Amino acid sequence: MNQNKLVENVTSRDEDFAQWYTDLCLKAELMDYSDVKGFIIYRPYGYAIWEGIQKYLDQKFKETGHENVYMPLVIPESLFQKEKDHVEGFAPETAMITTTGVEELSERLIIRPTSETLFCTHYQKIINSYRDLPKKYNQWCSVVRWEKTTRPFLRGKEFLWQEGHTVHQTEEEARKETLDMLDIYTDLGKELLAIPFVTGRKTEKEKFAGAVETYSIEALMHDGQALQSGTTHYFGQEFSKAFDIKFQDERNKFQFAYQTSWGVSTRLIGAVIMVHGDNEGLVLPPYIAPTQIIIIPIQGKKESVKQATETLYTSLKDLGYRVKIDDSNKSPGWKFSEYEMKGVPIRIEIGPRDLERNEVVVVTRHNREKTAYQVEDVASNMKDILKDMHEKMYQNALDHVNKNTYEASTYDEFKELIKKGGYVAMSISGEEAELQIKADTTATARVIPFEQKLITKICPVTGEKAIQTVWFARAY
């Protein structure tokens, strides 16, 4: 087999970003297509990334007083229709069970596209007093949305996610929860995925069906397109009024509760690929990588190589690193290409000549730099090597955001800048401008940043008074 076969099959990132992405998803064995369009198979290497995200978030959720539950897969059609905006937003994408192997159902059952209606029905039953509040539940599950165009991880008919649903006594507490969870998502980017998320509020047009306010974490892909990577919603009393979720307060007065929901999905796997990947393949941030270190013995049958390989493997394993040895009979060059393509952060080459100098070679995937280490120094330095790699990858991604974020004072300027990719900030008058921009450029409002400063007093699109600065981008 040709030494570079694997890599040759992956399209160049700079020639065709979309094809490069799909190639990588398949060749790196993150996923495969199933027999039903839009439903993908999460293969071990891809699912392990999701498990890493789950482990990080589940711990954070529990530390902040959230409990896991599991709600039914199905929602009766009549229940789904209780909150007007919500049903309007989701109805076209719903998949429905209408029959079993032997009989038709009396009511159509919607496969959950999201579970607000189920949580609300349950909350209505179990919440009576202020003593029952807050309720802070989370669920790990899959949801189904009948999307027309689908892409691995980014948009599918089924995806895996977590959905948090909370109930509070006061608006203040619910608003705080909405922002606290946004912080946890931001930390996920900073600490695990090496992705600097841009955060802010969504415009009225872009917010979640049924929410008073939606907040978002947005990631900027290498090609300059943005990816909404997670959202948190403040519902106010919209759902509690539709579902009659009331509690008796300390003065025995009935009040409608305040609610939130928030979620991230396997879409994050897509973000990791498109933020960090390069022409050689995946580049996985070290703390999320399913395999952090691959050890490749050169002339592995030599006793000295064999022994050094085993010793180093054991010491790294004992320190808790996710480490593997590849002593198969493929050529070293083939293996180098394979693990580069799979984005394994650290490759350690152990060969007889280096060993004579008591050295091994450590190659870091993100910059493909080779460093010789004394054998006994590798394990003790690994913590710092991975930390440095994580920080550099985060900084690179942040540099990419900073280099590709612009301000526009005129609409012509905006149109020029948006073509280059990246975020363009502009101060606009409202939804009319937003719609015009989308029609003219396909760019959409990503977020209204928390820190607000008007660039111009007049909206360059409508000529009316500008009321807020919004970050626009073309998006997945």
99 or 380: CB nearest a copy of itself? 99
Helix (H, G, I), strand (E, B) or coil at 440: helix
Pairing of the two strands 74-76 and 104-111: antiparallel
DSSP line for 140-197: EEEEE---SS-BTTTB-SEEEEEEEEEEESSHHHHHHHHHHHHHHHHHHIIIII----
In angstroms, what is the minimal distance from the CB of 50 to a copy of itself?
Answer: 8
216 or 266: CB nearest a copy of itself? 266
Distance CA 180, CA 163 (A): 15
In angstroms, what is the minimal distance from the CB of 165 to a copy of itself?
Answer: 12
261 or 429: CB nearest a copy of itself? 261
The DSSP call for residue 284 is -
CA-nearest of 317, 291, 276 to 44 is 291
118 or 289: CB nearest a copy of itself? 118
42 or 235: CB nearest a copy of itself? 42
In angstroms, what is the minimal distance from the CB of 381 to a copy of itself?
Answer: 27
The DSSP call for residue 11 is P
In angstroms, what is the minimal distance from the CB of 459 to a copy of itself?
Answer: 36
In angstroms, what is the minimal distance from the CB of 335 to a copy of itself?
Answer: 14
The residues facing 162 across adjacent strands are: 140, 264
Q: Which residues bind a copy of itself (CB under 8 A)?
A: 32, 34-36, 39-44, 47-48, 50-51, 67-74, 76, 79, 91-102, 108-109, 111, 118, 121-122, 125-126, 137, 141-142, 144, 146, 158, 160
330 or 415: CB nearest a copy of itself? 330
223 or 249: CB nearest a copy of itself? 249
In angstroms, what is the minimal distance from the CB of 230 to a copy of itself?
Answer: 19
Residues 6 or more apart whose CB falls under 8 angstroms from that of 220 comprise 198, 226, 227, 275, 397, 400, 401, 404, 422, 423, 473
In angstroms, what is the minimal distance from the CB of 2 to a copy of itself?
Answer: 17
CA-nearest of 26, 24, 27, 5 to 13 is 24
Helix (H, G, I), strand (E, B) or coil at 451: coil
Alpha helix ranges (H) inside 194-331: 238-243, 267-276, 303-318
Distance CA 184, CA 161 (A): 15
